[in-house]
Structure 1
Amino acid sequence: MKTIFDEGKYLGIAEVLGEKDKRVKMQETIFKKYPNRVLVDVKMNIPGPIKNNQYLEMMFKKGINELEDIFLKNSLSYKLVASWNHDTGCENFYIVNNKINYVKKYSVKFEDKSELGRLFDADVLTKSKKQAISRRDLGLPARKCFICSHLAKECARSRRHSVEELQNYIFQIYRKIFKNQIKK
């Protein structure tokens, strides 16, 4: 049976690491223009060598709609300042005009709200902090693995689940949301 991971460009670790460098440069550029604002950098966590294709783009857009709805419903004033659609995945950069803890609270709500949101990372940063604010900084529990009940970081570090198992989980979410719209 065809899955959503049957198409797309195979990437190696060099491409993924190169994208991280570009992300940091983009964040620095944004903070030059908006030094006193909160930045929310949103991307999906996709295991394996294929990080982007038409199906993953559809999931990203649907997730972004959920995030923006949460922002609007909770009076978070935001502005999309950059958006990427690279082989390594889609990514949006938002400037939000609220306190960092408030923004992180609702970013976590988005990540935990639905099965789709659990596939996303919504990093919340300020220029003065050298790294994203963590759930622990707000006294919130760490993320759980979407396959089992262990901590997500533990599963990732130990490679407890195979790429195939993780991709199958993502494919099942896709099928639920988009009713198996896969081109033959």
Structure 2
Amino acid sequence: MSKEMIFKGEAVTLADMLRAREDRSLRQGRLLTEFPNESLLCVTLNIPGPIKTSPALLEVFDNVIRAILEKLAGNQISYQLRLLPKTGYEYYLVTALDSQALKLKMIELEADLPIGRLMDLDVLVMSNQLPTPISRTALGFPPRSCYLCSKEAKACSRNRSHSVADMQAALAQLLQSFFEGDNQLS
């Protein structure tokens, strides 16, 4: 599958992304308030550039959801929501599983899957009345690495160490391998 096919979709603006981030935070806060004794998982994909959705990316996203549900088989799931905005796909899951245990399962999933670096599997808790993700480092794991240079991903993002074109090319290569395989994540 070509880079053009992966990134064939509607472009979004910075204003769109900021609005989506705010909406996501409000939704997370509502869910954490509605389910105060359960754990919240919020799933998105790390997609560089202005195009965040396409048929190929939706296929990847749906495979990720299936893998999560397989990983959580046997655990009570109280709520699920799958959203498909142009600003990037979102999936919310509330479970009775302890938040640290859920985060550990999601760290395992990221490590086990060939497309793990593309996934944001945030487990959130309320902290100072705000939805706050549990960090990998708080559980003794190293920060996520960049899929281009293997340095800390947040540092590369903050410093804009790589061009959007280079990041899209790396992502396209990763997804090409995924689609050429059996693209089953389990």
**TM (normalized to structure 1)?**
0.88
The answer to whether the 8 A contact 2:3-2:169 is kept is no
Contact 1:5 1:50 in 2 (8 A): no
Change (3 A) 1:56 1:164: same
CA distance in 2, matches of 1:2, 1:154: 25
Number of equivalenced pairs = 178
> In the superposition, relative to structure 1, how do residues 24 and 2 fare at CA in structure 2: closer, same or farther (>3 Å)?
closer
The Cα shift of 1:49 comes to 0.4
1:169-184 to 2 correspondences below 5 Å: 169-179=170-180
Structure 1 residue 116, shift from structure 2 partner: 1.0
Displacement of 1:79: 4.1
Task: Give the C-alpha shift of residue 122 in structure 1.
Answer: 0.7
Q: Which runs of 5+ in 1 are unaligned?
A: none
C-alpha contact 1:37 1:126 (8 A) present in aligned 2: no
> Residue 39 of structure 1 contacts residue 96 of structure 1 at CA under 8 Å; is this kept in 2?
yes
1:107 corresponding residue in structure 2: 106
Whole-Å separation in 1 of the counterparts to 2:79 and 2:180: 29
1:135 correspondence with 2:136: yes
Contact residue 47 and residue 163 of structure 1 kept, 8 A: yes
Look up the match of 1:56: 57
**Aligned partners of 2:146 and 2:68: how far apart in 1?**
20
Q: TM-score, normalised by structure 2?
A: 0.87
Q: Tell me the amino acid that sits aligned with residue 153 of structure 2.
A: A
What is residue 44 of structure 2 aligned with on the other side?
43
Once the two structures are superposed, residues 102-154 of structure 1 have per-residue CA deviations (whole angstroms, 9 ceiling, x without a partner) of: 11101111222223121010110123563111011111111111111211111
| Identity %, equivalent residues | 30
**Coordinate RMSD, CA, aligned:** 1.9
Letter in 2 for 1:174: L
In 1, Cα distance between equivalents of 2:142 and 2:39: 22
The 4+ residue runs of structure 1 with deviation greater than 6 A are: none
The AA in structure 1 aligned to 2:110 is E
* Other-structure match for 1:157: 158
- The CA distance in 1 between the partners of 2:46 and 2:66, in whole Å, is 17
- What are structure 2's unaligned runs of at least 5 residues? 182-186
State the distance in 2 between where 1:107 and 1:5 align. Answer: 25
Deviations 1:17-64 (A, max 9, x none): 000111012112212321111100000010100011111111111122
One-letter amino acid of the counterpart of residue 76, structure 2: S
> In the alignment, is residue 91 of structure 1 matched against residue 96 of structure 2?
no
